[in-house]
Every structure is written in C-alpha cells, then in structure tokens.
Amino acid sequence: FTNEPYAIAKIAGIKMCESYNRQYSKSHGIDYRSVMPSNLYGPGDNYDLKNSHVIPALIKKFHLAKKKKSSFVIIWGTGKPKREFLHVTDLASACIHIMNLNKKSYYKNIGSFSTHINVGSGEEISIKKLAELIKKVIGYNGKIKFDPSKSDGTLTKLMNNSRIKKLNWKNNINLEDGIKKVYSQFEKENNSK
C-alpha cells in the first residue's frame, strides 16, 4: 500500500494552479490558491477499522474496548512516530481566511505566483501519547499494547506552516478539545450499536 498516486495527484493540482497563475494572472485576473492540510479529523470521519485514519481508528478501538470491557487495546507499531493533526473546522477557517486575503497581501507574504500553503497546527504528538489522550477522553481503563511487528511508517510528518503564520492565521481547536467534540458526536451516533 502506498500514498504515491494520491501524493502525485495533489502535487499535479498545485502545479497546475501555479502554472495558470503564471500564464493568466495578468491577462485574465487568475488567482488560484492551494492549501495542503496536515492530518485531518472531525465530524463525518470514517470509523471503519480497515481503512480509517489514525484518530477515528483509535476512537473506535477504545470505544469498542470500553464497551466490551476488554483488558487491552492493540495498536500497530511502536507508538514512536509523530503526527500533526488539524480539526476540519480549523481547515475551513484557514481556507476562508486565505480566500479573503487581497492579492497584494497574499503574494507579498508567500511569493510571486506560488499557490501552495501548508495548513497545520504546528504541533506534533507521538502515536503513543495520542493513544493515551484518546484513552483518557473515552474513559477506557484497560492497557495499551503496541505491536512492533507492524510498520511504524514515517517517523515524523510535521509541516512547515510559516507561510500561514505570516498571513496571521492560527488554529483555534487544540487536540484534546477537538477529540472530546469528535468523541461526543461519535458516542451519540453509536449509542445503540
């Protein structure tokens, strides 16, 4: 399993926007802007344990373990890799902020004809600490066991968010509060299951 096709498609889209800006900015007023979010979580997430992202997968695992009174939860890898997370509401806020900036201010801060801006919290958390946080939020009392026979993947994925900072945007939802909101919604939707 690889993210290569997904990554290539994103890069191709960004490069297309940059090319249109270079070619048609002056003649047709083209002003494309691209955002690249860090790992997202929030309402509407996919909680399927076979193909979900890390936060919804951990929420579901700990929720099921709490319901079944399991003595432990197994998590793939060593727990050492670090990831950056952003609530989808913060991504929406960043997109609106970027969209509403006037052209002069925008390009002064990010460079001529560039379209790409990373949008992230600027903070990393290890998978181990994330699991402990989700365990706490859910109120699960069992143990966490890591399975080092499963791959860890890349050890760190912190994005450079200096451009979005220059444009005076910062996320508003810290990770613990975001997970509490997401779990509250998940619990309401899954109480009868």
Where does residue 106 rank: exposed (0-12), middle (13-18), buried (19+ CB within 10 A)?
A: buried
The residue type at 123: E
Phi and psi torsions of 50, nearest 5°: -85, -25
Question: CA–CA separation, 132 vs 144, rounded Å?
Answer: 8
Q: Residues 34, 36, 41, 45: what is their CA dihedral angle, to the nearest 10 degrees?
A: 60
DSSP at 45: -
* 101 HSE (CA, 13 A, CB side): 22
6 is catalytic: yes
Q: Do residues 179 and 63 lie in contact, with contact meaning Cβ atoms separated by under 8 Å?
A: no
Partner residues linked to 76 by β-bridges:
147
Active-site entry in 6, 47, 140, 183:
6
Catalytic residues: 6
